[in-house]
Structure 1
Amino acid sequence: MIYIKPKQQGVALIIVLLIVAIVSVLATEMGGRLQLQIKRSSNIKDNNQAYWYAMGAEQYARKSIQKLMEEDGEVIHLEQPWNQEFIYPIEGGGIQAQLIDMQSCFNLNALKVATSGEGGTSLLAARKEAFMDLLDNIEPEIPSYNRDLVRDSLVDWLDTDNNPQDVGAEDSEYESRQFPYIAANNYMVDKSELRLINGVEMTWLRELLELACVLPNNNLFEINVNTVSEENAAVLAAATGLSLSDTNSVLASRDPEGFKDVASFLALPSIQALKLSSDKQKRLKVKTFHFILHTKAQYNDATFAMQTLFKVDPSNNVSIIRRDFSGF
């Protein structure tokens, strides 16, 4: 039998209390970490589920585009099912998806034109003129000098040399800034790059971005006259040279199922009056080969947003050329 002196009994009690306190703290900490781990696992599971919902919507859209091209691919217009917003409720969440024609916006990469080949200089000049027409129809109004600055700087951003256009900008301009960088000298990957271009101002950038788009590694400049809406009428005005008011009149009088062919569009009196060059006529189409899908999937507390760019080849095969994981 161990005998503890009276003075040592108080010390032993303190030690016991300290051990109990330490065990309680450890138990609380372990319980908190366990709850955090459970919540983390739950979030991962929900995020993965939302991701696969979005991927399912992408595959559904891919098959829908292929079916569209096989059945009605010769004429693409806004009254077809592809233009309807897709909303699918699911227990604990849902899927929201919208297909958009990427040939109803102005491809910024269209200004990447090699001037060394035959006709390259005139082609670039024509596309620069179209981009200027687009800037002319931006609200709020962009000052004339700024329009010239942005146009030439965009060409310099895309071309492969380091020789600035008349009022353009190359590496020397961007390297002199507080946070220096250099021109891409290549195709744009995303239209958000426009923020880096010399002369661009935040006061009108949002309006320009709503009319612009980017086809990766592609300087295609073809506009589907059937899928341009009144909201982006400035794109069709830029492609044809029509005034914005005349373009809105054309779109307002357009048949719900669009024009059956380009010749029907060119036969309009307002279009005939323009006496469009062969180059401008080639810009106008009633078919589309590029679509972008905006998807937003929700499951419990998780939200997943994705943009998928589709390309249709001449055999009507649909391929995915880009995915962006960002806001809807």
Structure 2
Amino acid sequence: MTKPGVILITTLLIVMVMSVISMQISKNFYVSLKREAYLDFKNQSYHMLINSEKQAIKSIQKAIKLNQSKLTLSAPILKNKFYYQNDLMLLEIVVSDASNCFNLNSLFDKSGNTYKVLPAQRDWLARYLELKSINEPDIQSFIDQLIDWVDQDNQPLNFGAENYFYIGPASQSKQFTPKRLLVDLSEIQNFPIMQALNFEEMTRDLCVIPGSTKQLLNINTLISEDALLVASFFSEENLEFTESQILNLPQNGYDDVSVFASYFSQSSIYPAQVLSLNSKSFYLHGKIVNENFSANLDTLVILDLSNSAVIARRTFNF
């Protein structure tokens, strides 16, 4: 004879098991829906950011074509953000001038398959690092290791490093020197000297334009934070003076680079072609957000002499 208590316990156990199974099914279903929403947003945001990037580049090209003489910080493409909004998400594109930094690739002049070091650029980089309070041996080590990273031979400079180091037990990278121009600033973290230097601190004004040895400073888009870069170019030790000259930018910008250069006593001995009134490289930072996800697209755009755009680097983060 079946006891009522046994039936009750059995029924409760069945209900409990079914509840657990139901909860697990619901959890898996929720995870599946969330994963599908994640992938949908990722794909949709990427394509929207790419399309917005194209529109922003067209706006840059149009602005440069209409104002070929100069580009200032008050220019709409630098001052105003690009927005797009619908019921599901908000998209924002910010354009900034990418000119005002020291392009590490500008240290070299490429001729065929060889790379010649340009003394003027090397000296400028050394002065910049010196103003960063980096000691002379470390400066020499960094520059020599940069040259060895790019040059075609396997003979290390006095403070340099070639394949024997990078594939040896003391190196974490375990790779040969690429023997090419830098592609990304992060590459310098492979240099042995970087163990003694602070990457974030020393690279505030350093950059890498992939595959390009060009170097320009747009004096019309300089900001006070660029004082050290400008001071090192002119071999000016007074950073406050340099900053004051940057802040004294005419309301409509300079029309002649020689006017700005004349404020620095040693300007005549430095390559004036580095100074410009306009810009040819731009950063585009695109961002999409909704209540659950966000995505970013960072693009480095280079305009050539014909005003055609080249995507030098593009990074999508989700």
TM class, shorter-length: 0.7 to 0.9
Which residue matches 2:293? Answer: 302
SS at match of 1:319: strand
Which residue matches 2:138? Answer: 146
CA distance in 1, matches of 2:44, 2:230: 40
Number of equivalenced pairs: 314
Q: TM-score, normalised by structure 1?
A: 0.83
CA distance in 2, matches of 1:89, 1:70: 25
Which residue matches 1:320? Answer: 311
Letter in 1 for 2:35: R
CA distances 1:27-60 after superposition (whole Å, capped 9, x unpaired): 3332221121122222223333433443343123
CA distances 1:144-203 after superposition (whole Å, capped 9, x unpaired): 211111111111112222122221111222223152423222121111222222212575
Letter in 1 for 2:76: P
Which residue matches 1:65? Answer: 60
Unaligned runs of 5+ in 2: none
Residue 308 of structure 1, CA deviation: 0.7
CA distance in 2, matches of 1:39, 1:180: 38
SS at match of 1:260: coil
Q: How does 1:220-239 map to 2 (within 5 A)?
A: 220-239=214-233
CA distance in 2, matches of 1:153, 1:166: 9
Over 3 Å counting, the alpha-carbon distance change for 1:314 and 1:114 in structure 2 is closer
CA distance in 2, matches of 1:233, 1:213: 16
Contact 1:50 1:299 in 2 (8 A): no
CA distances 1:255-308 after superposition (whole Å, capped 9, x unpaired): 133221333334x2425x43225xx11222212111111222212211111211
Letter in 1 for 2:83: Y
Alignment partner of 1:181 is 2:174: yes
Alignment partner of 1:169 is 2:161: yes
Residue 142 of structure 1, CA deviation: 1.4
Over 3 Å counting, the alpha-carbon distance change for 1:69 and 1:302 in structure 2 is same
Residue 318 of structure 1, CA deviation: 2.4
Contact 1:75 1:260 in 2 (8 A): yes
Which residue matches 1:112? Answer: 108
Q: Decide which structure has the larger Cα Rg and report it.
A: 1
SS at match of 2:121: helix
CA distance in 2, matches of 1:237, 1:144: 18
Q: How does 1:11-22 map to 2 (within 5 A)?
A: none
Contact 2:223 2:247 in 1 (8 A): no
Indicate the percent of aligned positions where both proteins have the same amino acid. Answer: 26
Contact 2:209 2:312 in 1 (8 A): no
Q: How does 1:167-316 map to 2 (within 5 A)?
A: 167-174=159-166, 175-177=168-170, 179-182=172-175, 183-201=177-195, 204-245=198-239, 246-266=241-261, 268-271=262-265, 273-277=266-270, 280-316=271-307
Alignment partner of 1:136 is 2:130: yes
Contact 1:112 1:159 in 2 (8 A): no
Over 3 Å counting, the alpha-carbon distance change for 1:313 and 1:37 in structure 2 is same
Letter in 2 for 1:185: K
Q: TM-score, normalised by structure 2?
A: 0.85
Residue 63 of structure 1, CA deviation: 1.6
SS at match of 1:309: strand
SS at match of 2:198: helix
Contact 2:83 2:92 in 1 (8 A): yes
Letter in 2 for 1:84: K
Residue 205 of structure 1, CA deviation: 2.0
Residue 211 of structure 1, CA deviation: 0.7
- Comparing 205-214 with 233-242, greater Cα deviation is found at 233-242
Q: How does 1:66-81 map to 2 (within 5 A)?
A: 66-81=61-76
CA distance in 2, matches of 1:248, 1:10: 88
Letter in 1 for 2:287: K
SS at match of 1:325: strand
Residue 89 of structure 1, CA deviation: 6.9
Which residue matches 1:3? Answer: none
Over 3 Å counting, the alpha-carbon distance change for 1:13 and 1:285 in structure 2 is same
SS at match of 1:210: coil
Letter in 2 for 1:113: D
Contact 1:111 1:158 in 2 (8 A): no
Contact 2:72 2:221 in 1 (8 A): yes
Unaligned runs of 5+ in 1: 1-5
CA distances 1:221-271 after superposition (whole Å, capped 9, x unpaired): 2222222221022222333333352422321222133221333334x2425
Over 3 Å counting, the alpha-carbon distance change for 1:80 and 1:201 in structure 2 is farther
- Comparing 187-196 with 19-28, greater Cα deviation is found at 19-28
Matching residue within 99, 117, 120 for 1:126 = 120
SS at match of 2:306: coil
Over 3 Å counting, the alpha-carbon distance change for 1:64 and 1:151 in structure 2 is same
CA distance in 1, matches of 2:34, 2:110: 55
